[in-house]
Structure 1
Amino acid sequence: MTWGWRKILALRDLVRPFLWKSIGNGANTNVWSDTWCNVCPLRSHISPRAIANAGFNLQSSVAEMIDSSGNWKWPVAWYDLFPVLINLQVPVLHDTQDRLVWINSEGNSCYFSSWEVWNNIRYREHVVSWLHMVWFKQCIPRHSFHLWMVIRNKLKTQDRMSVWEAGSATNLNLMCCPLCYHDRDSRNHLFFECSYAKEIWLSIRDMANMGNVNGRWEDIMLWMDQHSTRQPVNVVSRLVVAAASYFVWQERNSRLFNRNQRSATALSQEIVNTVRLRLLSFKFKQGAVNRNFLQKWNIPSNNLDIDPG
């Protein structure tokens, strides 16, 4: 078997609790192994030896375990041995075929789709406060993905690499920020306490209506947390912060690996141009605030029409 197919098969135990048999005539549902009720599979409570000692077959269907009076065929003593059977109702059989259905995490039968599977089996955490700072429908996806990594402090910055002991001790000791050549780079240093990055931030923050926000990452995130609404002015602040972090990191890597350098002024202009191109695809409601906003970004007035939110 191929590696990919083995990985798919390994997911069976993860997916199986969501795959239920909807009982029709009960002939195609294994009473012991299939999931057709809340306590299934019954084999997790009743051992194969107990099933065989009672004279039953491991391949028995639900229909075969119901007598003509509509009661279960298993011994009365089983209710003492296996208490899960006490409240197990006998299903009402119909003249229809048993069906395989998908039961979501809320216990409801729903239409099967790959999205439904992923939504039920994925690992979940509590919703974070910065969700709408990063992911919103007007975002530039590659910038948002990068900002997500920045917020989670998952970039391979020098301070993290030194903890991993990646490279020789000599190289680790010689590490310094490739933007300002002072101290090791880190998440907070690069965004935007480094003298180079700070110059960029000071030149673009007014374009994001964040003129009173300094270059400390904690202060930027605090401001974003308080202002990350869907209004156009705050959409642009999210775009600017994401673009700034993206291009500063890109410049850092370019200097580190390619020895190519751009001035802070040139990089600031590229950030502004990139965000402006994204804003050109928006439509805004009529109003003095939006007109001033469009003038600041040199966007034609014919974009005044519909709120992008």
Structure 2
Amino acid sequence: MDQIQWQGLDGVARIFSISTAYESIRPTAGTVPWFDAIWFPNCVPRHIMSRFSKSPFFECRYSTDVWNHALEYTQITSSHEWSMVASDTVGFRANKSAASLVAKLLFGATIYFIWQERNSRLFNSKKRAAKELFGVIYSTVRLKLLSVQFKESCQIDQLRIACKLK
């Protein structure tokens, strides 16, 4: 029986498969400092791609209004400058507390839904008020938090009350 061979960049011939071809040609690098702020247990994958794409839309009045609603539920400082908000979120990367999880989920969901709102306004001429959009963000994060298994503590009880998880 014939077999197709794949010679990777390392010069070693292997039996061909898509995964071996991909692994041999994909660029590799060390882990970046913000990796854990993006990929963490309980993250929402569709919120990841827009998370660190700097956008002037994030700095407009509408986005500021949406972000102000989100700040009420996080330990992120009240900065509206992109680099400061991203830096605060990266600061939570190794923190496994419930408050850290809420901050990372809210940050990702806020960026994702602001970008979605931008596209809706540009391509569909549909607009939502900032408070209405935050309602969507809050519901998304709340539903995600309902699926998380937390260790019981006073902090978790406070989180459940604040986010209406009970």
Same fold at TM > 0.5? yes
Q: Which runs of 5+ in 1 are unaligned?
A: 1-8, 21-99, 101-111, 154-186, 301-309
Residue among 28, 43, 66 paired with 1:200:
66
1:283 is matched with which residue? 149
The structure where helix makes up a greater share of residues is 2
Residue among 251, 260, 265 paired with 2:131:
265
Report deviation, 1:143: 0.6
With normalisation by structure 1, the TM-score equals 0.48
With normalisation by structure 2, the TM-score equals 0.85
Partners of 1:116 and 1:291 lie apart in 2 by: 48
2:89 is matched with which residue? 224
Q: Is the 8 A contact 1:224 1:238 kept in 2?
A: yes
Equivalent residues, number: 162
Question: Larger RCO: Structure 1 or Structure 2 (Cα < 8 Å, ≥ 6 residues apart)?
Answer: 2
One-letter amino acid of the structure 2 residue matched with residue 214 of structure 1: S
Q: Is the 8 A contact 1:213 1:219 kept in 2?
A: no
Report deviation, 1:124: 1.0
Where does 1:63-212 land on structure 2 (aligned, <5 Å)? 118-148=22-52, 150=53, 153=54, 187=55, 189-191=56-58, 193-210=59-76, 212=77
Partners of 1:209 and 1:16 lie apart in 2 by: 47
Q: Is the 8 A contact 2:8 2:21 kept in 1?
A: no
Report deviation, 1:232: 2.0
Report deviation, 1:227: 1.9
One-letter amino acid of the structure 2 residue matched with residue 19 of structure 1: A
Could you say if the C-alpha distance between residues 296 and 115 of structure 1 is closer, same or farther in structure 2, counting changes exceeding 3 Å?
A: farther
Local SS of the residue matching 1:255: helix
Over the aligned positions, Cα root-mean-square deviation in angstroms equals 2.5
Give % identity: 28
Local SS of the residue matching 2:50: helix
Q: Which runs of 5+ in 2 are unaligned?
A: none
Structure possessing the higher radius of gyration over alpha carbons: 1
Deviations 1:205-254 (A, max 9, x none): 121222x3311111111111222222221111111011000111111111
